[in-house]
Amino acid sequence: MKYFNKILKIENLSIDKIAKKFKTPSYCYSYNQLKKNIQNFKKSFRSISPLICFSVKSNANINLIKEIKKFGLGADVVSMGELMIALKAGINPKKIVFSGVGKTPREIEFAIKKKILLINAESKSEVIEIERIAKLKKKSVNIGIRLNPNTDAKTLTQISTGKKDDKFGVNDKIFFEILKYCKNSKNLNLQCLSVHIGSQILNNKPYEKMLQVIEKIINKSNYNFKFIDLGGGMGISYGQETKKLNYQKYCIAIKKFLKNHKSKIIFEPGRSIIGNTGILISKIIYIKKNDKKTFVILDAAMNDLMRPALYGAKHKILASKKRSRKINLTHEFVGPICESTDKFISLNNFHELKEKDFITICDVGAYGMSLSSNYNVRLKPLELLIRGSKVKIIRKRQKYKDLI
């Protein structure tokens, strides 16, 4: 996203042109940014040659996953639907891991049938259920156990997953119980210890602590795990925070850990791969002023992008053309939904805006479209992939007939 002569562009195309042709609200993804993110991720962790499983929950567009697959990535899925999309996108089942606290028998059966790399179990009951189904199918199933390392990820509480009171994974006591159980099972092949402590992590310390906890558990267990799945969570810069997670430091900590343990590392990144590739283009329907502020009423709303309403997340907003005059009033960018939380951001001192102008909400590639809904019977937006000057529709805009 850059201004050229005050005109905002994604790759070689102006936002205004895209908006006029494809209407709004529309999600657009930059192919070259995606490529850059994947190459940078791979390069940063090359020395430990991990298996990188893209976390499908962050963006489940099958066309994007097909592109991601071309770079050799696998997938991290949390439902049968996500698993089906990953397989349909052509991802090798031997590069797919399945996490989640509530996998149903149907989902487990499907995962076993598709011979995926690992089912990462999150409770003893789930392990017993996997064993029951495996026995029935006369199969030996590769599984992981998700450990709850009781590590504070120092991120938003809503997206923190690794503290002892969180619903995810099992504590060390149950971990050892499951380990013992698996040793005596003919149908369970325990291959992996997995963890995921949270999302949008910007500091390396929580990861370092998490590695120390894993190290202790492994030493105590005296068990050789073929895989250590470290989950995702790598934080990105949303504009306000200038920093993002330092991959090099994280890699050094993992290398240190691997000195004593010969396991293959698995990562499950979502946001760090897709987050900054996506924008949401929206049109200003009306501008309404009161004494203190200017409401900029957009045609995009919390149903299109939930993060601000759900987590108080702040996404940068840019005008599609920069007018020279700046208005020194609070601009509150809101959607048309009947909820006071349907508000994206408040900004002071913004470039002059007019009704029918287009604006761009930035860094929405992760947990943007994937969290969207039909609230207020609003249609889900269109998705476009931009590569240089080329545009490809990668998901059509919903139609009323799809809903009514």
50 counts as binding ligand LLP under rule CB under 6 A: no
> What is the signed CA dihedral for 163, 166, 169, 175, rounded to 10 degrees?
60
Query: What backbone phi and psi angles, to 5 degrees, belong to 156?
Result: -55, 140
Nearer to ligand LLP, 74 or 270 (CB): 270
Binding characters for ligand LLP, 309-348, by CB under 6 A (x = yes): --x-------------------------------------
Q: Active-site residue 338, yes or no?
A: yes
281 forms beta bridges with: 26, 360
DSSP 97-112: EE--TT--HHHHHHHH
Alpha carbons 203 and 153: distance in angstroms, whole number: 8
Give the nearest distance from C-beta 229 to ligand LLP in angstroms: 8
Q: Are 44 and 273 in contact (CB under 8 A)?
A: no
Give the nearest distance from C-beta 361 to ligand LLP in angstroms: 14
148 counts as binding ligand LLP under rule CB under 6 A: no
Q: Which token pair is 119?
A: 């089912």
Binding characters for ligand LLP, 225-254, by CB under 6 A (x = yes): ------xxxx--------------------
Amino acid at 84: M
Positions in 354-393 near ligand LLP (CB under 6 A): 366-367, 371
Positions in 260-299 near ligand LLP (CB under 6 A): 268-272
Q: Coil, helix or strand for 30?
A: strand
What secondary structure letter does DSSP report for 186? Answer: S
Q: Are 176 and 183 in contact (CB under 8 A)?
A: no
76 counts as binding ligand LLP under rule CB under 6 A: yes
Q: Residue ranges of the alpha helices (H) in 141-260?
A: 172-183, 205-221, 247-258
Nearer to ligand LLP, 200 or 263 (CB): 200
Q: Which residue out of 28, 53, 192, 338 is catalytically annotated?
A: 338
Q: What are the catalytic residues?
A: 338
Binding residues (CB under 6 A) for ligand LLP: these are 55, 57-58, 76, 99, 159, 161, 196, 199-200, 231-234, 268-272, 307, 311, 366-367, 371
